[in-house]
Amino acid sequence: MPERRTVALVTLGCARNEVDSEELAGRLAADGWELVEDASDADVAVVNTCGFVEAAKKDSVDALLEANDLKDHGRTQAVVAVGCMAERYGKDLAEALPEADGVLGFDDYADISDRLQTILSGGVHASHTPRDRRKLLPLSPVERQQATDVALPGHGEVAPAPEDLPEGVAPESGPRAPLRRRLGTSPVASVKLASGCDRRCSFCAIPSFRGSFISRRPSDVLGETRWLAEQGVKEIMLVSENNTSYGKDLGDIRLLETLLPELAAVDGIERVRVSYLQPAEMRPALIDVLTSTPKVAPYFDLSFQHSAPGVLRAMRRFGDTERFLELLETIRGKAPQAGVRSNFIVGFPGETEADFAELERFISAARLDAVGVFGYSDEEGTEAVGYDGKLDADVIAERLEHMSRIADELTAQRAEERLGETLEVLVESVDDEDGAVGRAAHQAPETDGQVVFTSGEGLEPGRMVVAKVVGTDGVDLVAEYCEVLGAGSRTPDEEAGR
């Protein structure tokens, strides 16, 4: 009998990282590893790190150190770093953090089982020297689809899959359709739509370590969605660095408009959500599909970042307050209940008091459902590092505190505007401690608040129900449910058998 090998995956960062972890889990399960939830029960703890901003990098280091502590009083024998931070810093991270027994980049993902076995056996796998991954793929987007020899997290593996897959592992359905194993039982799952980014925002380092933009083929996205539905998933969230660019390397920039209705028609899927949309790339036809297609959430995760024209130009982005407000007016003209969220950077080099006031004017008028505000910090390898006009740290902190307070007040007001609305809510959890909790169409996982039910009686995870908003708590909504969708319009009393 083969020796029992156990592995735990600890995931930090965004939904794209969560998909990467499930794909690593699929490969490991296919190669005979036993997946365990608690790192203290694992021979190897694999920490999927985030390398986006300083706070995320600190969290990643803390997670690695915490996992390393398990080696002194648990089963854990090795701690391995993967993910964006490992890819971005490679051997430099390995030297700075000797507590990690291995630092693996994206090129190691296809052979993750062998890499972990080598490390677990006391061997050493040399960490890679970081390189600009934008240079690994052809400049022409269309030519990138033929570059199957480049590791693209979320798109596929170079190594072939075993013929006999364990139960619960999704099979490869094409050259860029990876194995996948779910790491939880949530009725919501993310699906990678594309990887990388061709935009050159002056503050962002992601393209340098995620690479150039490349779409997954629609057949692979559909195949993975069908498999997820078979696993009990009710909502899928399409993720990438820029979903509005989907299809440009496949010869059809409007491919997302075609794909969304097909995904919504997959048996068992109740909701399809699209994340990360670029305001400058929004198309009328895409807005129409997002606001009118049954089971497609009228949800707009728009990356505004700022609204003062001078700051946006310095960021190498486009738009201004009036154009952004016109976009929101168009969206809400088609779907008044549409959800809109965005992130903003304050204290960008050269941001004047007038620029800051302009951003506040926009946020005050935009009626956003969720807002993330971040203070600018230099990210090595980005153009903005060399900019003049850097603001003092205390000025950035003051602006961050002010805008965060404004954002909290405005999003709470926006939630109050929904009092009395009837919403379709996906129930995500029901327990004695937290009661019944779910999310409406305007609420994405982790970032946008939730719906708390006044009673959990008759509810169960994975149910899509109609609920009426009767209260608010910040961005969260309090609701009482009226009927279960697709169940003959049952009332709560009927659902409970009374």
Residue 201 labeled ligand binder: yes
CB 343 within 8 A of CB 370: no
Q: In this structure, which long-range contacts are made by residues 107-112, counting pairs with CB atoms below 8 Å and at least 24 apart in sequence?
A: 107/151, 108/82, 109/20, 109/23, 109/24, 109/27, 109/82, 109/151, 109/153, 109/157, 110/27, 110/151, 110/157, 110/158, 110/159, 111/159, 112/24, 112/27, 112/28, 112/82
Contact partners, residue 30, CB within 8 Å, separation at least 6:
161, 162, 165, 166, 169, 179
Helix (H) or strand (E) holding 157: none
Residues in the chain: 498
Residue 14 labeled ligand binder: yes
Count of Cβ atoms closer than 10 Å to residue 78 Cβ? 22
CB 293 within 8 A of CB 261: yes
Indicate the burial class of 139 (C-beta count within 10 angstroms; 0-12, 13-18, 19 or more): exposed
Lookup: tokens for 408: 């909290």
First to last CA, the chain: 53
Bind-site residues for [4Fe-4S] cluster: 14, 50, 84, 197, 201, 204
Bind-site residues: 14, 50, 84, 197, 201, 204
